Amino acid sequence: MLDGILIGLATAVTPFNLMMVVAGCLIGTLIGMLPGLGPMSIIAIMIPVAIGIGDPTSALILLSGVYYGAIFGGSTSSILLNAPGVAGTVASAFDGYPMAQQGMAGKALTIAAIASFAGGTVSVVLLMVFAPALSSVALLFHSAEYFALMVVGLSAIAAFAGSGQVGKALMMTLLGLIMGTVGEGALSNTPRFTFGILDLQSGFSFITLAMAMFALPEALFLVMNPARAASQAGGKITGLRISRAEARTIAPVIGRQSVMGFFIGVLPGAGATIASFLGYAVERNLATREEQAQFGKGSIKGLAAPETANNAACTGSFVPLLTLGIPGSGTTAILLGALLALNVTPGPRLMLDEPDVFWGVIIAMYIGNLVLLILNLPLIPYIAKILSIPRNYLIPFILFFTLMGSYIGQNNSTELLILVAFGVVATILRFADYPLAPLLIGFILGTMLEDNFARAMQLYHGFGFLLERPMTLGLLALAAFLVILPSLRAMRLRRKLAREAGVADGD
């Protein structure tokens, strides 16, 4: 592992890559602060830039910097405006916004930054320990197991979708898989479902789809309902310092939540949202009685818990991506798409074949956390000015960036029409409360799923691989279990859990 760290340091600590980390964090914070633009949309917008860089390591370093920055920016807007841009930062607003109202906005931001930093750093260490172990197991996998593993991943995403949503999430996953079959098929290059349109020959562009699913509906919602973008930057931000006693109070919270958040993040589909809500609930139960009364009214513990957990979970979600090549959340799905476009195939071979990419990214994550704490935090009062850009200027630019993102990728204006059409469909789906991340994950995994399925079928001349490879059968049984169990439990729990509405389903 020490070798790996050295490789990573050698790759990440070059002037250009350091610049990428800083640029990524700044851009991410800047855009992530805008209400409604979650990490998924921002990364989707940044993909053409990343591909333009050409070098996969620098590109991935830039994108992961953007990811961290976006989450940090998202918590800033939930603390200052009570307008979380992403589901993962909703819990931060519970205690962060009351603190800001009491004039402690600066302190709240510092706690958020320190908690994010600690959560990110601890979980990067966990990532370094667990990813190599997992990928050495994954090397034993065969195409049959890969097929089964992807089925498990897809059903886990549906299973963690929340009560009453399992059917809908499954539906969206299938829709994504169906959309993935448009274009040239597995093992043969005959075009399928293209309706004779030449532009569809190579399938739907993944960037266009990502833009249409996440950035465009959010922008349209901002247009339709200005209340979503309560665009008055709240007062001056002063007093960034926290006292020693406060640091001592939040230290155990941060310790617990970084470990817990990481492991929740590793589970496909669970991600930052569940980690942050769970972290908040756990810390409230653990707190003493007088501290419990503070929760919801500006408790520093209540702010530190979800902030630590969501950052740790974000790092955790890189584990299945880097070791198995299977994205567990919408954001990692987009990153996977970007990696494939850069000719890097994440998976168990990544660590052996391209150790500089693997370790470079891990070290860059660490540096990214540091940059956020040292560089971004003092800049926040100035960056927060972006919240006062009038809506009339902001929205056309957001729309323009989504258009540009999909145009630059393909240099084809048909792509723009597809973008608008899917954007409208996605908006309607959002209105009906359908989760969209499963669609994108299904779309990305669809091709791989089919290829591995076809390969396994060819090797075993039929469905024999199900019986001959017990691991495959076990994984498929797990997948079935994952789908059926929550639907049974959902019937009972349906009334208990309130629906989380009004935020981008991004983590």
Partner 1 sequence: MALDRWIALVFVGLCAAYGYAAFFTMDHLLPPILQRNPVWPSTFPKMLAIAGVIVGLMVLFTRTPEGRAAPNAGAMDITRLGDYHIGQALGLLALMVAYAMTLRSLGFIASTTLFLVLGGVVLGERKLYILIPVAALATVSIWYLVQEVLGIFLRPLPSFLL
Q: Which of residues 428-447 bind partner 1 (CB under 8 A)?
A: 428-434
Name the segment binding partner 1 (CB under 8 A); options: 126-134, 207-215, 287-295, 426-434.
Answer: 426-434
Which of residues 168, 305, 332, 405 is near partner 1 by CB under 8 A?
168
Please, what sign has the CA dihedral across residues 473, 479, 481, 483?
negative
Return the structure tokens found at 42: 């921002």
Which of residues 349, 458, 480, 484 is near partner 1 by CB under 8 A?
458
Query: Is 255 an interacting residue with respect to partner 1 (CB under 8 A)?
Result: no
125: enclosing H helix or E strand = helix 105-138
- Do residues 116 and 376 make contact, with C-beta atoms less than 8 angstroms apart? no
User: How many CB atoms lie under 10 A from the CB of residue 413?
Assistant: 12
Q: Which residues pair with 227 in a beta bridge?
A: none
Return the structure tokens found at 122: 């601890």
Nearest Cα to Cα of residue 420 among 400, 440, 446: 400
Name the segment binding partner 1 (CB under 8 A); options: 6-14, 124-132, 260-268, 406-414.
Answer: 406-414
Side chain identity, residue 373: L
Minimum distance between the CB of residue 308 and partner 1, rounded to whole angstroms?
A: 25
- Comparing CB distances to partner 1, the nearer of 288 and 411 is 411
Minimum distance between the CB of residue 226 and partner 1, rounded to whole angstroms?
A: 7
Query: Is 2 an interacting residue with respect to partner 1 (CB under 8 A)?
Result: no
| β-strands 183-184, 191-192 pairing | antiparallel
- Comparing CB distances to partner 1, the nearer of 318 and 505 is 505
- Please name the residue that has the structure tokens 């740790």: 312
Name the segment binding partner 1 (CB under 8 A); options: 65-73, 296-304, 354-362, 450-458.
Answer: 450-458
Which of residues 297, 349, 489, 499 is near partner 1 by CB under 8 A?
499
How far is residue 483 from each of residues 155, 161, 243, 392, measured CA to CA in Å?
6, 10, 47, 44
Gap between the Cα atoms of 363 and 98, Å rounded = 35
Minimum distance between the CB of residue 235 and partner 1, rounded to whole angstroms?
A: 20
Residues of span 147-166 touching partner 1 by CB under 8 A? 163-164
- Do residues 27 and 46 make contact, with C-beta atoms less than 8 angstroms apart? yes
Name the segment binding partner 1 (CB under 8 A); options: 117-125, 261-269, 366-374, 454-462.
Answer: 454-462
User: How many CB atoms lie under 10 A from the CB of residue 467?
Assistant: 10
266: enclosing H helix or E strand = helix 244-266
- Comparing CB distances to partner 1, the nearer of 244 and 492 is 492
Q: What is the DSSP letter of 504?
A: B
- Do residues 437 and 234 make contact, with C-beta atoms less than 8 angstroms apart? no
Return the structure tokens found at 480: 């079935």
Which of residues 46, 150, 341, 503 is near partner 1 by CB under 8 A?
503
Minimum distance between the CB of residue 450 and partner 1, rounded to whole angstroms?
A: 5
Centroid of chain to Cα 381: 26
- Do residues 65 and 20 make contact, with C-beta atoms less than 8 angstroms apart? yes
Minimum distance between the CB of residue 9 and partner 1, rounded to whole angstroms?
A: 28
- Do residues 335 and 40 make contact, with C-beta atoms less than 8 angstroms apart? no
Which of residues 423, 435, 438, 506 is near partner 1 by CB under 8 A?
423
Q: Which residues pair with 264 in a beta bridge?
A: none
Query: Is 252 an interacting residue with respect to partner 1 (CB under 8 A)?
Result: no
Residues of span 5-44 touching partner 1 by CB under 8 A? 35
Return the structure tokens found at 84: 């979380």
- Comparing CB distances to partner 1, the nearer of 353 and 433 is 433
Contacts with partner 1 by CB under 8 A: the residue count is 76
Gap between the Cα atoms of 6 and 3, Å rounded = 5
Which of residues 52, 198, 285, 492 is near partner 1 by CB under 8 A?
52
Minimum distance between the CB of residue 409 and partner 1, rounded to whole angstroms?
A: 9
- Do residues 388 and 231 make contact, with C-beta atoms less than 8 angstroms apart? yes
- Comparing CB distances to partner 1, the nearer of 152 and 429 is 429
* Angle formed at CA 328 by CA 362 and CA 256, multiple of 5 degrees: 65
Residues of span 227-246 touching partner 1 by CB under 8 A? 227-228, 230
Side chain identity, residue 83: A
Which of residues 145, 450, 505, 507 is near partner 1 by CB under 8 A?
450
Residues of span 169-208 touching partner 1 by CB under 8 A? 170-171, 174-175, 177-178, 181, 185-188, 190, 192-193
Which of residues 232, 382, 411, 492 is near partner 1 by CB under 8 A?
411
Which of residues 235, 296, 396, 474 is near partner 1 by CB under 8 A?
396
Gap between the Cα atoms of 44 and 419, Å rounded = 13
- Do residues 153 and 445 make contact, with C-beta atoms less than 8 angstroms apart? yes
Residues of span 69-128 touching partner 1 by CB under 8 A? 83
Residues of span 318-357 touching partner 1 by CB under 8 A? none
Gap between the Cα atoms of 493 and 143, Å rounded = 37
Minimum distance between the CB of residue 164 and partner 1, rounded to whole angstroms?
A: 4
Which of residues 141, 160, 221, 422 is near partner 1 by CB under 8 A?
221
Query: Is 413 an interacting residue with respect to partner 1 (CB under 8 A)?
Result: yes
Name the segment binding partner 1 (CB under 8 A); options: 282-290, 348-356, 361-369, 407-415.
Answer: 407-415
Minimum distance between the CB of residue 247 and partner 1, rounded to whole angstroms?
A: 32
